[in-house]
Structure 1
Amino acid sequence: MDIATLLGLISGAIVLSTLILMGGDFRMFYDIHAVIIIFGGSFAATLIRFPMSAMIHGLPLGAKLAFQLSSLSARDLVDELARIAEVARKQGPVGLEKVETSEPFLAKGIRYVADGYDLEFIRDNLERDRDNFLLHLNEGSKIYRAIGDCAPAFGMIGTLLGMVQMFSNMSDPSKLGPFMAVALLATLYGALVANLICLPIADKLHGRLIDEETNRTLIIDGILMIRDSKSPTLVREMLLAYLPEKHRHEEGELVPA
């Protein structure tokens, strides 16, 4: 689990709760009309922006990956692929059947090599798998960003509705407070949904997209080299290009022959 996402949400909730309790209670900051305008309006506007298929894939995938770390970093993958190349050189493709890894995409590539699939088949299937995953991840990032963009706007709409209702009932002082609460709480909810939840998640998913594209492309190149029976040293040296320059020296230790 990505502890940073969880800690950020918990910290934000604690800060807000503390400020609320210092000046009253939670009931003061709840209004069903404001909830409807923010969540209902933002969801409706996002549905108009994106096809239903994107919503079905993007929302749950984004929520899942925002709290989930990659099982292996690019640094770990270089070492892992070099180790797998060493197994393949000593035991042949059959030896790869006993290799275990925590990265599902890498495990799929290992299985293809162990089963003796053609090089082009392996490349096409892994690249298609990578591209589909990145497409859905990108959709998730865009959807959360769209909700983050819509929420403050609907907060303003809720504020305007509350002000209209308030001025339309100036003759009845008992109604002014509830309508003013709608006006203010709609703006508050919109700001919170956008800046504490949706926009941070969208940014995290965008960073995850870049990392996953690098990692999965690295895996594909490594698997294809293993399929071509390249030496572990060559596999490592070729894959070091995916790492930042400052990490290449410490990663460049050769695998013993």
Structure 2
Amino acid sequence: MIIAMVSGGGFTWFVDWPSAMIVLGGTFGAVLINYPISDLLGVIKVAKNAFRGKKQQADIVINRLVEMSKISRRDGLISLQRLIQENKERDPFLIKSINLVVDGVDPLHVSEIMQTELDSLAERHRLGAEIFTTMGNFAPAMGLIGTLIGLVQMLKQMNTPGTIGPAMAVALITTFYGVILANLVFLPIAGKLKTKSSQELLLKQLIINGILSIQSGDNPRVLEQKLHAYIAPRERKSRFYHD
């Protein structure tokens, strides 16, 4: 697409700041009407984490949980606290679940607390994807509004035929900006957030079930088999083949 733009005459032909201001200003203005500004500020952080956050590997998390199971069966649940104190565990979600177990919280309450945490995370991710989808829906409409504004201005200058061509081009650029922003920026980000969210939520659910299994004293081999059900067969790597 960029090659086609450049080879057709020049990239500067497609640069028009008033058109960009109409599309961006109109899109963000419409979104501000739909959502409170606090949600918009929060979605920036969600989007940043989606692209910058390092993806956790499910098999690595399973291995950590299996190792925790071995430690807790050998030294008791309280021994898991050392993993946190020694900074061997960095995942806040896993740390919170470990603390609940170490504090002797009933398994049912552990499940409820962590599930609520998971639901809250899912809602933040859903809202982020929804806002970017809304922006993707508004951007082409704002582009069309900009085009109509340009056409009105062009028709007002019909007495000078030499200006019709350039004015028409500027009018169409606004629609171009709206379509580009919607289909190459806003909607892809929304899709990325949905994909990232589904992966993260699955991993958090895996952690919840793993911690509850550790709390109930399940055999590490049994725990591993339970958690392997969450991942594809090709990703399953047992720690017990070499034990």
Q: For residues 1-257 of structure 1, what are the structure 2 equivalents within 5 Å?
A: 16=2, 18-70=3-55, 72-99=56-83, 100-173=88-161, 175-176=163-164, 179-244=167-232, 246-247=233-234, 250-252=236-238, 254=240
More displaced stretch, 198-207 vs 164-173: 164-173
Deviating more after overlay: 177-186 vs 77-86: 177-186
Q: Structure 1 residue 162: deviation in Å?
A: 1.0
The secondary structure found in structure 2 opposite 1:242 is coil
Shift in Å, 1:89: 1.1
Instruction: Give the AA of the match of 2:234.
Output: H
Change (3 A) 1:127 1:256: farther
Question: For the Cα contact (< 8 Å) 1:82–1:255, is it kept in 2?
Answer: no
Contact 2:140-2:175 within 8 A present in 1 as well: yes
Within 1, Cα distance between the matches of 2:241 and 2:75? Answer: 16
Give the share of equivalent positions with the same residue, in percent: 32
TM-score norm. by structure 1 comes to 0.82
Q: Decide whether the 8 Å contact of 2:97 with 2:110 is kept in 1.
A: yes
Q: Corresponding residue for 1:7? A: none
Mapped to 1, the partners of 2:124 and 2:241 lie a distance apart of: 36
For the residue of structure 1 that corresponds to 2:229, the secondary structure is: helix
Q: TM-score, normalised by structure 2?
A: 0.86
Q: Is the 8 A contact 1:31 1:181 kept in 2?
A: no
What's the CA shift for 1:59? 3.5
Over 3 Å counting, the alpha-carbon distance change for 1:83 and 1:166 in structure 2 is: same
Unpaired runs of at least 5, structure 1:
1-14
1:197-235 deviation digits (Å, cap 9, x = unpaired): 111111111111211221111111111111222221121
